[in-house]
Amino acid sequence: MILFLLSFPLSVISAEGPQPTPTVDRLAAPVVPENPSQVDIGRSLYYYNCMPCHGDYGQGLTDEFRGIWEEDHQNCWEPGCHSGRAGEEGFPIPRIVPAVNIAPRSEQLFPANGDLYEYLRTTHPPQNPGWLKDDEYHALTAYLFSLAGRQPPASEAKQMALSLPGLTVIGLAAVLVGVMLFIVIITRWYNQRR
């Protein structure tokens, strides 16, 4: 009798069958938890500032990554995008955008998080280096090192502590509205030029 009762839940589960694996939307914005860690903030900053060129998991601007975008957004080098004629917001990009998933060589390239932080702050984003706030560069550094499976030493983690007055749901919504407005303006401009 006990065996019968114990086996009942298993028979119900097996009768339902395996559940399908949900499809992941690789272009979906990351959800920022209520009390985000520095890596959570860095992941969000990466999505909005780095992912279009460096890929959704740091692989670079590969054919595979561009293939998940809408068809009319897959050729980043066509006129009106990044061929150098995209208007004030556009900037030319190289044909090969390097991967930023630095896991295999992270210790050689950037022995300390401060090295990567300084590199990012002085070179990125390419169209406006230094545009982000210092704490945002620190958060990006933490996220990129998390991709490599590295954590900052305790002394660096204290230096990289964040206060989040500007990164709120309203702030993220404002950024999203701005990005959508930019896309509409560029699309209209592009369609008028045809």
Residue 59 and residue 101 in contact, taking contact as beta carbons nearer than 8 Å: yes
Residue 139 and residue 41 in contact, taking contact as beta carbons nearer than 8 Å: yes
Structural domains of the chain ordered from first start = 31-164 (1.10.760.10)
Both tokens assigned to 9: 């839940």
String of DSSP letters for 171-193: HHHHHHHHHHHHHHHHHHHHHHH
- In whole angstroms, what is the distance from residue 137 CA to residue 22 CA? 33
Q: What is the pTM of this model?
A: 0.61
Convert the pLDDT of each residue in 80-127 to its tens digit.
Answer: 566 555 555 566 677 766 666 655 555 666 766 678 888 889 988 888
Phi and psi torsions of 156, nearest 5° = -70, -35
* CB atoms inside a 10 Å sphere around CB 57: 13
Position 90 scores a pLDDT of 62
- In this predicted structure, the answer to whether residue 35 has a pLDDT above a threshold of 90 is yes
Q: From residue 71, how far is each of 7, 12, 76, 146, 173 by CA, in Å?
A: 51, 44, 11, 31, 26
Position 125 scores a pLDDT of 86
Share of the chain above pLDDT 90, in %: 14
- In whole angstroms, what is the distance from residue 45 CA to residue 31 CA? 12
- In this predicted structure, the answer to whether residue 129 has a pLDDT above a threshold of 70 is yes
Position 84 scores a pLDDT of 55
Which is nearest to 151 in space by CA: 44, 38, 59? 38
Position 5 scores a pLDDT of 45
Q: Work out the average pLDDT over 163-167.
A: 45
Contacts of 16 (CB under 8 A, 6+ apart): none
- The per-residue pLDDT of the chain, averaged, comes to 73
Convert the pLDDT of each residue in 41-71 to its tens digit.
Answer: 999 999 998 888 888 888 888 888 888 888 8
Position 161 scores a pLDDT of 47
